[in-house]
Amino acid sequence: MKSLRRSLLALAAGSLTATALLVATPATAFAQDIKPRLIRFGYGLNEQSNQGRAVKLFAEEVQKASGGKMKVRAIGGAALGPDTQMQQALIGGAQEMMVGSTATLVGITKEMALWDTPFLVNNVKEADALLDGPVGQKVMDKLQEKGLVGLVYWENGFRNLTNSKRPVTKLEDMSGIKLRVMQNPVFLDSFKSLGANAVPLPFSELFTALETNAVDGQENPFNTIVSSKFYEVQKYLTVTNHVYSPWIVLVSKKWWDGLSAAEKKVLSDAAKKSRDFERQDTRTEAAQALKDLKAKGMQINELSPAEANRMREKLTRVNAGIAANVGMDLWTDTQSQLAQLRGG
Ligand code: TK8
């Protein structure tokens, strides 16, 4: 009797343990799958920018979703170096994550030049559809063989021209303007073809170059002209909207490959949340920016339709070269998705 009771008790305890195990398994497995991780996340703009705000949100989401185990150390202001240097650090595994321009990736993955195509998209709706759709994914996937993993595209935005020399109201006004461009052959060619004296320079050196008149002008979205205080050193702003620039959130593949599925999911989910937040934030800020920049003393002009067309004419001459570089398949896929978007 005693032994029966004992074995019954043992049985009950056993099944209790079994039940407890069953219930606990998912949570326990999850917890074990997420290890303490420190993620050095570099970016080029300052904390008080659309980029800085979105990195902060990403960091908070990762912290929350990992139960505080994964910590993102956000390092802005290009303190870890310009985009190109951070890309190399990611490839080598010396840094875990970054966000930066797709334009500076062209030397690594030539397909990224697709996003440098002047006037490729007409509005942010087209940009989102293209970037988040199969074309955007295809370009992003190309990074893997180079040691990088792309998670999401953020909005840098439509780029506009500023300079300290004169208002640019017609094509000829570009002539002789020493213009900083991103380190990217398409941008270099585009602005040379407009008659500017285009000089490639990392973003981190741009403010000083403008301040010391080493260059006369630059081109970036309204948001960046505000957050990087370019209005302090640039008098004239011309609304050109000549290209839509994305940013891309990157992970070191070397490091990524060592993560568990649960850890990867934490990062992917947080990246998607940061993307949605960032685009909304950027658009809200951009809608206000012209007023802000005017108040800061910038002289702003739009181009007449005729002049805008002349510029467009010149700029889109680089398109054939881009198509050849990124591959005809990708180019035609892009054009057909755009046609579909515009038709529907
Ligand atoms: C910031 C850059 C910047 C880009 C540029 O690191 O270089 O002009 O527009 O946003 O990526």
- Residue 255 belongs to a domain: yes
Instruction: Find the domain containing 257 and state its range.
Output: 37-343
Checking DSSP bridges between strand 244-252 and strand 148-158, what pairing results, if any? antiparallel
- Residue 96 belongs to a domain: yes
Distance, in Å, from the CA atom of 71 to the CA atom of 57, rounded to the nearest integer, reads 12
Give me the residue label for tokens 């978007």.
341
- Residue 120 belongs to a domain: yes
Give me the residue label for tokens 């529907």.
344
Tokens linked to 313: 């004419």
pLDDT band at 32 (very low <50, low <70, confident <90, very high): confident
- Residue 22 belongs to a domain: no
- Residue 26 belongs to a domain: no
Residue 138 has pLDDT above 50, yes or no: yes
The residue among 10 and 273 whose pLDDT is bigger is: 273
pLDDT band at 106 (very low <50, low <70, confident <90, very high): very high
- Residue 13 belongs to a domain: no
Mean confidence (pLDDT) of the chain: 92
pLDDT band at 30 (very low <50, low <70, confident <90, very high): low
- Residue 23 belongs to a domain: no
pLDDT band at 6 (very low <50, low <70, confident <90, very high): low
Tokens linked to 344: 């529907």
- Residue 11 belongs to a domain: no
The model's pLDDT over 110-135, given as tens digits with 9 standing for 90+, comes to: 999 999 999 999 999 999 999 999 99
Look up the CATH number of the domain holding residue 216: 3.40.190.170
Residue minimizing CA distance to atom 10 of ligand 1: 101
The model's pLDDT over 269-312, given as tens digits with 9 standing for 90+, comes to: 999 999 999 999 999 999 999 999 999 999 999 999 999 999 99
The residue among 24 and 250 whose pLDDT is bigger is: 250
Q: Which of 43, 224, 234, 249 to mutate to test the pocket of ligand 1 (most atoms within 8 A of CB)?
A: 224
The model's pLDDT over 225-243, given as tens digits with 9 standing for 90+, comes to: 999 999 999 999 999 999 9
- The residues lining ligand 1, judged by C-beta closer than 6 Å to any ligand atom, are 44-45, 83, 100-101, 156, 182, 203, 220, 224, 245
pLDDT band at 90 (very low <50, low <70, confident <90, very high): very high
How many other CB atoms are found less than 10 A from the CB of residue 139? 27
Helix (H, G, I), strand (E, B) or coil at 39: strand
CA–centroid distance, residue 44 to ligand 1 (Å) = 7
Distance, in Å, from the CA atom of 239 to the CA atom of 257, rounded to the nearest integer, reads 43
What is the per-residue pLDDT for 28? Answer: 52
Residue minimizing CA distance to atom 11 of ligand 1: 101
CA–centroid distance, residue 6 to ligand 1 (Å) = 72
Nearest atom in ligand 1 to the alpha carbon of residue 202 is: 7
Q: By the 8 A CB rule, do 80 and 97 touch?
A: no
What is the per-residue pLDDT for 21? Answer: 46
Residue 14 has pLDDT above 60, yes or no: no
CA–centroid distance, residue 171 to ligand 1 (Å) = 24
User: How many structural domains are present in the chain?
Assistant: 1
Residue minimizing CA distance to atom 7 of ligand 1: 203
CA–centroid distance, residue 100 to ligand 1 (Å) = 6
CA–centroid distance, residue 181 to ligand 1 (Å) = 10
CA–centroid distance, residue 45 to ligand 1 (Å) = 8
Residue minimizing CA distance to atom 4 of ligand 1: 101
How many other CB atoms are found less than 10 A from the CB of residue 329? 9
Q: By the 8 A CB rule, do 178 and 141 touch?
A: no
The model's pLDDT over 176-225, given as tens digits with 9 standing for 90+, comes to: 999 999 999 889 988 999 999 999 999 999 999 999 999 999 999 999 99
168: left (phi over 0), alpha (psi -120 to 50) or beta: beta
CA–centroid distance, residue 101 to ligand 1 (Å) = 5
- Tell me, what amino acid is at 29? A
